[in-house]
Amino acid sequence: MYRSVFRPDLFKGKVVLVTGGGSGIGRCIAHELASLGATVALVGRKEDKLAKVQQEIGASASIHPCDIREESAVRTMVEAVLKQHKKIDGLVNNAGGQFPAPLALINQKGWETVVRTNLTGGFLVARECYTQHMAQAEGDHAIVNIIADMWNGMPGMGHSGAARAGMLNFTETAALEWAPVRSNAVAPGWIASSGMDHYPPDMAELLRGLPKLVPAQRMGNEDEVSAAVVFLLSPAAAFISGSCLRIDGGAPNAKRLWPQVGNGTATPELNAFHLATKPKVLS
């Protein structure tokens, strides 16, 4: 079973839509929410991946294939979720993707593809959840947008950094315009997730060396991101909106003028997700 730090049935009777729910961090979040009593609506482009996660979770999960970059598809998807579950209490905007490249080598198509996935798609899903249900419904409603550690720039992935920075600004704007719906973000740093196995082989050595650049002296886990997301969805965060919670082991705080990064020992890991597997590239 999922070993959540939160109390059982915390989300009993709640419906939470999770984009990118077919793998990685989204899959982990869906498992933790379901373990706490929530009904999870899994959204993603590939139905087979969603079906696998649905099978893992059981009857409390539904699947809704959708390309979040397409406005009409998003509108139809949210309508289908509401038809099946009658409400959407929470949204986790997790879907995203990028490819490594220096700015000078990113063409317009590549730039726009990443921005549509990491910024436009998240906006579309949030807008439809808000306009179709949250704006009129009573009770506590929350949106959590998953961005990235893009402070001080994002060299090698400038398209993603620009999109994630835009998503943070959108989060802050929605916290005002859509109140009392709560809108927050989480910014994962280097997380040992299945997504790492999709990067080119020549990045393997770089990825394996990342813990040395983190004051915590390790990478984060999917369940450590999930715990932060669950907190922001929960009643414990009822007075938090427009905020961003970093989950990065202090990596942005490492400075060139201070060569020491941590003291050589790593912080303990949460290890709450019972189905977690280590990315092959880190083996």
Least confidently predicted of 121-130, 136-145, 197-206, 266-275: 197-206
Residue 38 within a domain? yes
Paired strand residues for 92: 18, 144
- Give the integer Cα–Cα distance in Å for 280 and 283: 5
Residue 129 within a domain:
yes
Q: How far apart are CA 168 and CA 123, in angstroms?
A: 11
Q: Are strands 39-44 and 142-146 parallel, antiparallel or unpaired?
A: unpaired
Q: Look up the domain containing 270 and give its range.
A: 15-282
pLDDT for 199 beyond 90: no
Q: Report the mean per-residue pLDDT for the chain.
A: 95
Collect all residues with Cβ–Cβ distance below 8 Å to 173 and sequence separation of at least 6.
Answer: none
pTM of structure = 0.94
pLDDT category of residue 181 using cuts at 50, 70 and 90: very high
Q: Which amino acid is at 116?
A: R
**Residue whose entry in the numeric block shows the structure tokens 């414990």:** 236
Nearest CA to 146 among 120, 129, 125, 168?
Answer: 168
3 state DSSP class of 63:
strand
Report the CATH number that the domain containing residue 193 is assigned in CATH. 3.40.50.720
pLDDT of amino acid 117: 96
- Check whether 257 has a pLDDT greater than 90: no
Residue 71 within any structural domain of the chain: yes
User: Is residue 5 a part of any domain in this protein?
Assistant: no
Token digits for 136? 């009129």
Q: What is the pLDDT of residue 206?
A: 86
Q: Is residue 117 in some structural domain?
A: yes
Q: What is the domain count for the chain?
A: 1
> Three-class SS of residue 136?
coil
User: Starting from the edge strand earliest in sequence, which strands make up the sheet with 61-65, in order?
Assistant: 61-65, 39-44, 15-19, 90-93, 142-146, 182-188, 244-247
Condensed to tens digits (0 to 9), the pLDDT of residues 104-161 reads 999 999 999 999 999 999 999 999 999 999 999 999 999 999 999 999 899 999 999 9
pLDDT tier, 260 (very low <50, low <70, confident <90, very high otherwise)? confident
Residues 78, 79, 85, 87, CA torsion sign: positive
Q: Does residue 274 fall inside a structural domain?
A: yes
CA dihedral 26, 31, 37, 38 (to 10 degrees): 20
Please say whether the beta carbons of 197 and 258 come within 8 A.
Answer: no
Torsion, Cα 216 218 223 226, to 10 degrees, reads 50
- Specify the pLDDT at position 202: 82
Q: Is 19 within the bounds of a domain?
A: yes
> Of 194 and 122, which is predicted with more confidence?
122
Question: Can you give the pLDDT at residue 164?
Answer: 97
**41 confidence band (pLDDT: 50, 70, 90):** very high
Q: What is the mean pLDDT of residues 199-219?
A: 88
- Per-residue pLDDT band at 96 (split at 50, 70, 90): very high
Q: Is the C-alpha dihedral spanning 157, 162, 163, 168 positive or negative?
A: positive
Inform me whether the pLDDT recorded for 256 exceeds 80.
Answer: no
Q: Answer whether residue 10 is part of any domain.
A: no
Tokens of 253: 């705080």
